[in-house]
Amino acid sequence: MRSSVPSLVLLFLCFAHGTADPAHDDPCRPRSCHHGPDVQFPFLLERSGQPDGCGYSRDFHLSCDRRDTLLSLPETPRPLLVTDIDYKNRSISVRDREGCIPLLLANLNHSIFSYKMSPRSPYSSYPPYNYTLFQCPLGGRSDSGMTRLGCVSTSEYDVFAVESNSYVGDLPLVSCMRNGSIDLLPTTIGDIMRDVNLVWDKPDCGCTKGKLCRRKGNGTHCIDPPRGHEERTKLEIAGGVVSFFLFLVGLSGLGYVINEKRRDKAFQLKIESFLQDYEALKPTRYSYNDIKRITNDFEEKLGQGAYGTVYKGKLSDEIFVAVKMLDNSFGNGEEFINEVSTMGRIHHVNVVRMVGFCADGFRRALVYEFLANESLEKFIFQGEDTLDPFLSWERLHDIALGVAKGIEYLHQGCDHKILHFDIKPHNILLDNNFNPKIADFGLAKLCSKEQSAVSMTAARGTMGYIAPEVFSRNFGSVSSKSDVYSFGMLLLEMVGGRKNVDVNAKNMSQMYFPQWVYNHLNKGEELEIRIREDGDHKIAKKLAIVGLWCIHWYPADRPPVKAVVQMLEGDECPVMPKNPFVSSSSGDAAIMRGRLWNTDLEVIAE
């Protein structure tokens, strides 16, 4: 219901634009770089097709550098990045990438721009602020009254700025040499090293509402909008009225729509707040336009997941990425926050690397490294009698070990314990060398390393891989052992080359594959599944036994992932476990196994 209303409005607005769009006949219509503010009179965007008459003078010429808007000022060694233009208040916000604006604009009086000064306080002589520069030896003492200018300091000396009207007798400047001055700053020098607002006095058109300002000779004049502008506006208004009328007639749930919009806004604010908190993680933040450019307008679809669609993208000729566009119909943004917060903490060879993210309005996307071989699921589910030529039993063993090490890192290698809750073949990606990488952290949870169990208000995961305790606390507490269970089910599917539950199995005994595997191994029989070489029996049996250890119904009976890694790394085949499908969590057997795995679960509030 949410999506139908804006679509209807958009349809009618597009009709209005299609019938009359004279703005395209105006050569001075606003233009913009790929990433930057709209550029219109008195400014002119070079190489955009605007004639010179669209700008007031050469001082107001802007240019594009890749996706940024740049302003070049007289006697300035490099251009400034334009972040915003306020035409009403005749103000332009600029930034210096090297963080050296006060020195860069030392000759600002030679241009038509000036600093935007704050109102002067009746109790102070500020602004403006005037500074004297000192060149001091490295390693010398400094003082709170001295501001170090890192952009001009070198490996041989430091440069400090000191307010010119301050008393310097108490400052450690004995070994320093005066090195110039910076005057007439709008605020303290430390506050404008990177960003500043500049203003211009002329031109000030003073046009009435609805008029457009243009250059005339050495001055300006006000003109009417291009012919047809009023008709186009009327059509747009008419389209909006008709759309709103149809909206009222066709949708009785208006109150629901309004509530949904309020909820969406709350979710958006929640995500923005989260992104500010995690800014220190420094993943690259992309705009939606960046995402469209990276994916070439979503040209190549790689797959469809539970929470969105994955597309192939390209950052450069050598660097490819996978872009997951999240579906707004799922959840309230928790999946997005989970992924970004979790992936920002992870650096491991067996965990997929997040390159960046997009949170542009209600559009959310995650950008990952591209893995050419896609998911493990594509290789293992090909029937019991076939095995992909690239996935020998030895390679399957290496993949299983890599996944186990990745889970071990999530549980013990980060600042916080990370529980994945969705380990399955679809979420195991393979690079060019078939090295496995765990992906999709939308259901992950973070908790302290000292805490061993977590309480949840609802089950999470994929059917067939969810541990019993996630459904019912009668089996025990939800903990890192829940990921171990999912890994065990993954191992058994790798062994069988099939889903663990198959209602179309040839024999009833094979319908639940883990039970069939246990029955065969418990009788001392070999697993005759895609065996081609002499050593295949041993690897298949080893993977199956480790998988059976991991899928015990009760978490206390499962090994921790560290023990799983040790079993997979060992040369010998692990011992056969007791029947994992019956209760052994009462009596001496359960006590002994709990001691074996050192299990003592403490419940943690979610």
Q: Catalytic amino acids? A: 422
Cis-peptide into 436, omega within 30 deg:
no
**Which DSSP helix (H) or strand (E) runs through 288?**
helix 288-294
The residues, ordered by sequence, that sit 6+ positions from 68 with a Cβ below 8 Å of its Cβ are 33, 34, 35, 36, 81, 82
How far is Cα 464 from Cα 487, in angstroms, rounded to an integer? 11
CA distance 21 to 89: 29
Residue pair 307/327 in contact (Cβ under 8 Å)? The answer is: yes
d(CA 394, CA 217) in angstroms, rounded, equals 81
Structure token digits, residue 422: 């969705």
What distance in Å separates the CA atoms of residue 87 and residue 592, rounded to the nearest whole number?
76
Report which residue type is found at 510: Q
Check whether 324 is labelled as a binding-site residue: yes
Instruction: Give the gyration radius of the chain's Cα atoms.
Output: 33
Quickly count: other Cβ atoms within 10 Å of residue 187's Cβ: 16
Burial of 318 (0-12, 13-18, 19+ CB in 10 A): exposed
- 369 vs 312: CA distance, rounded Å: 10
**Segment 343-346 long-range contacts (CB within 8 Å, at least 24 positions apart):** 343/283, 343/441, 344/278, 344/281, 344/283, 345/281, 345/414, 345/415, 345/416, 345/418, 345/446, 346/409, 346/410, 346/414, 346/418
φ/ψ of 118, rounded to 5, equals -75, 155
Cβ(419)–Cβ(410) below 8 Å: yes
Q: How far apart are CA 140 and CA 156, in angstroms?
A: 12
β-pairing, 354-360 vs 284-286, is parallel
Provide the annotated binding site for ATP.
324
